[in-house]
């Protein structure tokens, strides 16, 4: 793919593509410490649920490399303190806590830098394989001549390899299937306009950018046969937490009879949280919404919303597509949400 990688790791050094500057500039940040990593996650230099988890895993490895305690308890105490800071950087995507927990579990068995590095690299490699599997399972949903609508960026920039929601699109495109992708601009930070449209266009797909509020009229006109989005967290009952505006799309899909599918790697499944109402929704700064021409009034800027399971047609995982009842399907296909750890070393 003709795309810079969101996360670069050479075994020692971590570089993050600064997504705040896309598509105008391709600039990498070299992450050397925890403060810088927290800032990069909080300000969306690196963003997208799986990418945040991978970046945090590497950042924790980098931060631990500076003067690692030799004694086991001290090693784990330092790891926990650093991980707590990373975990607090963004609250909604479960991948962040999931990746940090994987590193902790591995460190409890092997409190060494080498084991940390190995686990972080495994998480990254697994993610690439998962994207391909999601793509293979979801590809058949994209039929010749259809219109697909996506929201925010669940592409290669948000994950690794093919992305999640975009993976079926990339594979069908590579197979020569002709279809059109409509991309919501995704107010207020424009991940759709700046990232998804750019990413898909660079890969040669047929992309059309729309205002978020144009989705209804396109569905009414029969131009959209499928809505396909990513997720920051799917709870035990199948509720889907994703970028603000996703819920509105799901409601529209129900009205117009358009299938609403969610691409969800197992790292975004949270079986410990019963439903979406219990998920902390990140509230971001007013300045992201207030343009220079806006009236100076109070602002609400929730970054995510919850789509109830009953509005979801299906969830595409690396193990296959789950149709309702979602809770049972998620339990059966993903189980406790923990892919086999690399921690063969015990
Ligand atoms: O605020 P962002 O840009 O991190 O939000 C990203 C999303 O909402 C994505 O749809 C989600 O993380 C899935 S990425 C595979």
| 56 alpha carbon – ligand 1 mean position (Å) | 15
- pLDDT per residue as tens digits for the range 186-236: 999 999 999 999 999 999 999 999 999 999 999 999 999 999 999 999 999
| Mean pLDDT, all residues of the chain | 95
| 152 alpha carbon – ligand 1 mean position (Å) | 6
- pLDDT per residue as tens digits for the range 293-344: 778 899 999 999 999 999 999 999 999 999 999 999 999 999 875 544 444 3
- pLDDT per residue as tens digits for the range 103-140: 999 999 999 999 999 999 999 999 999 999 999 999 99
Residue nearest to atom 6 of ligand 1 (CA): 48
The answer for residues whose C-beta is within 8 angstroms of residue 129's C-beta and 6 or more apart is 318
CB-based contact 264:231 (threshold 8 Å)? yes
Tokens read off for 210: 């729309």
The answer on pLDDT for 1 being more than 90 is no
| 51 alpha carbon – ligand 1 mean position (Å) | 9
Ligand 1 and 154: CB distance under 6 A:
yes
The answer for residues whose C-beta is within 8 angstroms of residue 328's C-beta and 6 or more apart is none
**Mean pLDDT, rounded, for 269-279:** 97
- Which of 22-26, 68-72, 146-150 shows the lowest per-residue confidence on average (mean pLDDT)? 68-72
Give the mutation target among 158, 183, 190 for probing the ligand 1 site: most ligand atoms within 8 A of CB.
158
Question: Which candidate in 18, 127, 184, 232 is catalytic?
Answer: 232
Ligand 1 and 49: CB distance under 6 A:
yes
Ligand 1 and 307: CB distance under 6 A:
no
| 114 alpha carbon – ligand 1 mean position (Å) | 30
Ligand 1 and 194: CB distance under 6 A:
no
Ligand 1 and 156: CB distance under 6 A:
no
**Mean pLDDT, rounded, for 232-257:** 98
Ligand 1 and 191: CB distance under 6 A:
yes
- pLDDT per residue as tens digits for the range 147-184: 999 999 999 999 878 999 999 999 999 999 999 999 99
| 313 alpha carbon – ligand 1 mean position (Å) | 20
Whole-angstrom distance, CA of residue 152 vs CA of residue 155:
9
232 is known as an active-site residue: yes
Ligand 1 and 93: CB distance under 6 A:
yes
The answer for residues whose C-beta is within 8 angstroms of residue 335's C-beta and 6 or more apart is 271
| 71 alpha carbon – ligand 1 mean position (Å) | 38
pLDDT at 341: 46
Tokens read off for 207: 């992309």
Ligand 1 and 231: CB distance under 6 A:
yes
């Amino acid at each position: 793919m003709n795309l810079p990688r969101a996360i670069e790791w050479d075994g020692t050094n971590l570089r993050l593509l600064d997504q705040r500057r896309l598509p105008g500039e391709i600039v990498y940040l070299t992450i050397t410490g925890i403060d810088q990593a927290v800032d990069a996650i909080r300000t969306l230099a690196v963003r997208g649920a799986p990418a945040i988890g991978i970046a945090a895993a590497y950042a924790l490895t980098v931060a631990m490399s500076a003067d690692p305690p030799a004694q086991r308890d001290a090693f784990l105490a330092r790891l926990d303190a650093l991980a707590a800071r990373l975990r607090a950087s963004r609250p909604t995507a479960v991948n962040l806590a999931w990746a940090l927990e994987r590193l902790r579990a591995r460190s409890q068995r092997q409190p060494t830098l080498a084991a940390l590095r190995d686990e972080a690299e495994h998480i990254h490699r697994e993610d690439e394989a998962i994207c391909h599997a999601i793509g293979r399972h979801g590809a058949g949903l994209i039929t010749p001549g259809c219109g697909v609508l996506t929201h925010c960026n669940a592409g290669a920039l948000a994950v690794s390899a093919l992305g999640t929601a975009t993976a079926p699109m990339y594979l069908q495109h590579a197979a020569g299937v002709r279809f059109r992708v409509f991309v919501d601009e995704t107010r207020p930070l424009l991940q759709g306009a700046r990232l998804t449209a750019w990413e898909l266009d660079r890969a040669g797909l047929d992309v059309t950018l729309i205002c978020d509020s144009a989705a209804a009229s396109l569905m009414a006109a029969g131009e959209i046969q499928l809505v396909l989005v990513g997720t920051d967290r799917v709870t035990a009952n199948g509720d889907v937490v994703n970028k603000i505006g996703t819920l509105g799309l799901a409601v529209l899909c129900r009205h117009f009879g358009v299938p609403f599918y969610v691409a969800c790697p197992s790292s975004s499944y949270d079986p410990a949280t019963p439903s979406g109402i219990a998920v902390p929704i990140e509230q971001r700064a007013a300045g992201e919404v207030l343009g220079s021409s806006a009236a100076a009034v109070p602002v609400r800027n929730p970054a995510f919303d919850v789509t109830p399971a009953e509005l979801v047609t299906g969830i595409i995982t690396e193990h296959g597509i789950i149709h309702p009842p979602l809770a049972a399907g998620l339990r059966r296909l993903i189980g406790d949400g923990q892919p086999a750890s690399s921690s063969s070393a015990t």
